[in-house]
Amino acid sequence: MEIQKKILAVDLGEKNIGLAISDAYGMTAAPLETFQHKNRAWDAQHIAEKAVDAGASVIVIGYALDSEGQIGPAARHAMKVADEVRLFFQGEVLLWDESGSTDATKRNYIEMGIPRMRRRGHLDASAAAWILQDYLDFLFHQKRFDEKREQDVN
């Protein structure tokens, strides 16, 4: 198994921000922490510090496109946060469409039978893990596609 770069994912909520981290193999995502939003500069610095502490060399920030795939206020906010994170982080900072991540996380919790009171405070980090897993799955399938194409050429 090939060791890759760790990746930190960010779910930007209105009140809280969730973080998740990948394993060293780029296969799985796990919730890392949820913290309360303060201001863009503080949030960006905290995100960058957590990425460095976790050994991540890439940060993926979720941004939600509207129902027509257009950039709306939430996506513009994510873009501004990404720009701010770049001031504090030496690695790559990417945006990833996270439309539906919070709803998907809520559905998973409900399907697992977790009571509403036990779900509080965990949703943002779990949504970040959902975003990250979606990104990791994309990378995996892209790699497989590239390998297949390489085989077809040879």
Q: What is the pLDDT of residues 32-54, one digit of tens each?
A: 999 999 999 999 999 999 999 99
What pLDDT, on the 0 to 100 scale, is given for residue 29?
95
Residues 6 or more apart in contact with residue 56 via CB below 8 angstroms: 5, 6, 7, 8, 21, 22, 91
Assign domain 6-153 one CATH number from 2.60.40.1930, 3.30.420.140, 3.40.50.450, 3.20.20.450: 3.30.420.140
Q: What is the pTM of this model?
A: 0.81
Residue 142: which pLDDT band, with cuts at 50, 70 and 90?
A: confident
Distance CA 82, CA 15 (A): 17
**How many CB atoms lie under 10 A from the CB of residue 39?**
8
With CA atoms as reference, report the closest residue to 24 among 48, 61, 62, 58: 58
Sequence spans of domains, the chain:
6-153
% of the chain with per-residue pLDDT over 90: 56
Which residues partner with 83 through β-bridges?
none
110 compared with 64, residue with greater pLDDT: 64
